[in-house]
Amino acid sequence: MKCPGCGADYSARLAQCPYCGTVNESAVRREKDKEERRKLLRSLRIRTAREAGPRITIQVLNRIAAALLALWLIVFAAVFLVFYIGERRAAADVEVLSQEQNVANLESLKAEGDYAGIAEYLSDHELSMYEEGIEEYWQLYEIYEDMRGFWEAADETEGLSSEEAASDTWRYEALARSVLDIWQYGSSEYESERVLEGNEELYSQWRDETGLYLRTRFGMTEAELSQWLEVPDADYEQEEQLGQFLKERAAEYGSQTEF
């Protein structure tokens, strides 16, 4: 280009004339334009990076979540398969026996006094209480559980101080409920709830045990046992009244004799 100052020719890219130093306005404007474009480009890059950051983070988190979910599903499926196969094997291990064999095995457990074993056998072999010859073993286990509940309730009332015995009612009501449950088998108005023939001897023995305890622990007479316990289908009111009676007797009579 020609210098407007001295008229010499020089390159248009130079910022000023090399001969006289006159500023090349066109070159200066081009340089400023370039600098502005560089600044704009840097600004765009920074903004793009900032906007892309959260999206990238969300994408990474989504991938991690998907991987964890897939892993959890795999573990769950593996556990389920192990459990299912184990249950199937356990079920296969239980031999399917005839009714006569089941009754014989249950009778053997009964003779050994293994009433918890009876319940386990009934459950393992999926024997219904409505199957012929099986009902009495279900009832036997139920009476055994009632007896166990009776002795647990009896233990709760033992060793109470006179002050505790005077203020604590629920323990005596629990004892009343448990003994009423046992005696109901012998006094129920419903034939289906009475003691089955095969359980009569053992039931009579257990019932006598509860009667002996009540006579020894609370001084109850035979007439009182009959009055309180030989009541068909006793209700909650009967339970409360008997609990209150036992509570009063505990304070009055006490444990005069070791049971």
Sign of the Cα torsion 150, 155, 156, 157 reads positive
Q: What is the pLDDT of residue 170?
A: 85
User: How many percent of the chain have pLDDT more than 90?
Assistant: 11
Per residue in 45-80, pLDDT (tens digit) is 666 656 555 655 667 677 887 888 888 888 888 888
CB atoms within 10 A of CB 226: 14
Cα 125 to Cα 98: distance, rounded to the nearest angstrom = 11
Whether residue 91 has pLDDT greater than 50:
no
Q: Considering the entire predicted model, what is its pTM?
A: 0.55
Q: What is the pLDDT of residue 213?
A: 93
Per residue in 214-249, pLDDT (tens digit) is 999 889 999 999 888 887 777 788 888 998 998 888
Q: What is the pLDDT of residue 36?
A: 73
DSSP state for residue 46 in the 8-state scheme: H
Reduced to 3 states, what is the DSSP secondary structure of residue 178? helix
Per residue in 108-154, pLDDT (tens digit) is 999 998 988 998 998 888 888 778 788 889 988 888 999 999 999 88
* Higher-pLDDT residue of 178, 168: 178
250, 172 Cβ separation under 8 angstroms: yes
109, 118 Cβ separation under 8 angstroms: yes
Whether residue 32 has pLDDT greater than 80:
no
Q: What is the pLDDT of residue 19?
A: 77
Which residues fall within 8 angstroms of residue 221, CB to CB, at 6 or more apart?
A: 215
Q: Among residues 209, 147, 211, 139, which one has the least CA distance to residue 178? A: 147
Q: What is the pLDDT of residue 255?
A: 46
* Higher-pLDDT residue of 208, 95: 208
Q: How many residues does the chain have?
A: 259
Which tokens go with 229?
């316990």
Reduced to 3 states, what is the DSSP secondary structure of residue 21? coil
Strand partners, 2: 9
State the average pLDDT over residues 151-160. Answer: 84
Q: Among residues 227, 228, 219, 226, which one has the least CA distance to residue 248? A: 219
Which tokens go with 122?
């009934």
Amino acid at 64: I
Per residue in 169-212, pLDDT (tens digit) is 888 889 999 888 888 877 666 666 678 888 888 889 999 999 99
* Higher-pLDDT residue of 14, 127: 127
Q: CB-hemisphere CA count at 13 Å for 74?
A: 6
Reduced to 3 states, what is the DSSP secondary structure of residue 210? helix
Rg (CA), the chain: 46
